[in-house]
Amino acid sequence: MDILTISIIIMAILQIGAAIYAVIQKDLLYAVIATSVISLILSIFFYVLQAPDVALTEAAIGVALTTIVFVITIRNTERHEDKRHVKIGNKIIKK
Amino acid sequence: MNQILEILGLILIIIGSIFLFLGALGIYRMPDVYNRLQAGTKATTLGGMSLIIGVGLIQPDWFWKSLILVIFIALSNPISSHALARSAYKSKIKPFFKGKEEDLDAYKEVVERNENN
Amino acid sequence: MKKVIVLILLAVVAYYLVDVFSQIKFGENRFQGENVRDFYLDKSKNDLHVSNSVTSIVVNFRGFDTLGEVTVLFLAATALGSVLYRRKAHGEAVLFNASTIVRSGAHLLFAPILLLGAYVFIHGHLSPGGGFQGGTIIATGFLLMLLAYHDYKVSHGVLTWVESLAGLTFASLGLTGLILGKTFLENFLPIGTINDLFSGGIIPIIYIAVGFKVGAELTGVLYTMLNEKEYKKS
């Protein structure tokens, strides 16, 4: 195995781990950061597979714009998925 | 001439990767936000810059492009780390304390001043 | 009377739809003996003189699909604006101003980011990139300014004008091909020499228009979302 194959395998494992983390995480801000990590690794994959156009799109849209749109949405709504935490004003209070 | 440039570039790339590794290790090891920012932004700024210059030395066609990238990193990375640290301070995150007894009063004073602001 | 006219119109449309679709056999191989990949690669290099064949497929051979994509993006941006638009904001969002370092840094970085975006979509037919990528990069440049200055104003009128003019350029270039007796979005300009900035006929013009359109739309989306004030929960 050459170094490229090993690094591709490591990146794929990291990507799957980030995806699982994004699904099971109750704090939505952390989940959004995990999805942006997925997009970043995906854009590296596209570059390695010789599709630089798609890599550029993925890096610009997936990493930058989607993340910021989700962060703005979380700022305007709820941060925690858990029903036991309630946001009152600016404080997060346990029920 | 080309060989000297290549060796110089390889040395710079090794230095850069060592600094990037130290930055990653610091993010894992450090106890709170401010220490992690210290490790994770300063080390990666230097690491990324020297790595890109090394690539530019190995491939002389790309040297000026890599110089532009280095200028961009030198402008953007400190600003973003400053913004992160300032937002952590404004969100009233307490710094980690592990020191002597006589410094405890000064620490509490700083934390209270931050919380009252 | 109205219902009868509607029914007649529907019947006519249905007749022609059935007529068209009955001639296409399901699962039929319409490229007998000809390889689509080789056809595209040959034609983009020899007939269009475009070195980045992805661009020639996206803008020329599949140009109609791209027009649909741009329309979808426009509809999404308009729908978001109409959902989030609120004339009276109740209360202010709790925010503190960005520091002097961030503000002057944003000023320094704003122009180079816009320049990079423009470079990406102007050189879309020569190097990787194109209208969508360049437009997104321009939108991130505006995002930086919006984050640094809370009172940074982006004029909605200018955004609408840029969007409309870019869309009009795209559609009218396609229609000009029809008027000159060719197909929709077929090239009618001189194609120049390969690997030159002025090559590829209408492809660079269309990609520049797409870049302006995407940049204006995404900037509008970000501006609308960031300026949505927190309202009182009843």
pLDDT at residue A78, as a whole number: 75
Give strand pairing partners of A92: A87
Cβ proximity of C135 and C119 under 8 Å: no
How does pLDDT run across C193-226, given as a tens digit for each residue? 888 888 888 889 999 999 999 999 999 988 888 8
Residue B14 falls inside a structural domain = yes
Q: In this prediction, what percent of chain A has a pLDDT beyond 90? A: 45
Report pLDDT for C94: 53
The per-residue pLDDT for C234 is: 39
How far apart CA B50 and CA A6 sit, in angstroms, is: 25
Residue B44 lies in a domain: yes
SS3 for C52?
Answer: coil
Q: Residue C174 and residue C182: Cα distance in Å, rounded?
A: 10
Chain A residue with Cα closest to C225: A72
Instruction: Take residue A28 and report the two structure tokens written for it.
Output: 């939505």
B89: left (phi over 0), alpha (psi -120 to 50) or beta: alpha
Q: Where are the alpha helices (DSSP H) in chain B?
A: 2-29, 33-37, 43-58, 63-90, 104-116
Q: What is the reported pLDDT for C230? A: 52
How many structural domains is chain B composed of?
A: 1
Identify the residue with better confidence: C68 or B104: C68
pLDDT(C53) > 60: yes
pLDDT of residue C96: 63
Structure tokens at B12: 């710079």
What residue segments make up the domains of chain A, in order of their start? Answer: 3-94
The upper half-sphere exposure of residue A31, i.e. CA atoms within 13 Å in the direction of its Cβ, equals 13
Whats the size of chain A, residue-wise?
95
Element housing A9 (H / E)? helix A3-24
Q: What is the spatial distance between Cα C150 and Cα C154, in angstroms, rounded to a whole number? A: 11
- A91 - beta bridge partners? A88
pLDDT score at C141: 93
CB-nearest partner of A72 from C52, C137, C225: C225
Instruction: Give me the total of CB pairs closer than 8 Å, taking one residue from chain B and one from chain C.
Output: 21
- % residues pLDDT > 90 (chain C): 35
**What's the confidence (pLDDT) of residue A88?**
62
Spatial distance between the Cα atoms of C77 and C217, rounded to a whole number of angstroms:
6
pLDDT at C231 over 60: no
* Minimal CA separation from C229 to chain A, in Å: 8
pLDDT at C192: 83
Cα–Cα distance for residue pair A80/B8, rounded to 1 Å: 50
C-beta atoms surrounding B113 within 10 Å: 9
Residues of chain B with pLDDT under 50: none
Q: Which of A77-81, C80-84, C137-141, C157-161 has the lowest mean pLDDT?
A: A77-81
CA C162 to chain centre: 12
The answer to whether the Cβ–Cβ distance between B79 and C112 falls below 8 Å is no
Q: Give the DSSP letter string of B20-36.
A: HHHHHHHHHH-SSHHHH
pLDDT of residue A85: 61
* Cα–Cα distance, C210 to A57 (Å, whole number): 14
Q: Is B21 domain-assigned? A: yes
How far apart are the C-alpha atoms of A36 and C168, rounded to whole Å? 35
Task: Find the mean pLDDT for residues C17-32.
Answer: 79
Chains B and A make contact, 3+ CB pairs within 8 Å: no
Q: What is the mean pLDDT of residues A66-70?
A: 91
Tens-place pLDDT, residues A21-64 = 999 988 899 999 999 999 999 999 999 988 999 999 999 899 98
d(C-alpha B109, C-alpha A82), whole Å: 35
Whole domain around residue B73: which residue ranges?
A: 2-92
Decide which of A27 and C25 is more confident.
A27
Could you report the predicted ipTM of this complex, rounded to two decimals? 0.79
Is 80 exceeded by the pLDDT of residue A94? no
Q: Which residue has the tokens 């640094």?
A: C148
Residue C233: what pLDDT?
A: 45
**Contact assignment for C129 to A53 by CB distance below 8 Å:** yes
What are C82's two structure tokens? 């109409």
Instruction: State the chains in contact with C (3 or more Cβ–Cβ pairs under 8 Å).
Output: A, B
Give whichever of B39-53, C29-43, C92-106, C143-157 has the largest mean pLDDT. B39-53
Touch between B and C (at least 3 CB pairs under 8 Å): yes
Instruction: Report how far residue B78's alpha carbon sits from residue B80's, in angstroms, rounded to the nearest whole number.
Output: 6
Tokens 């040297």 label which residue?
Answer: B63
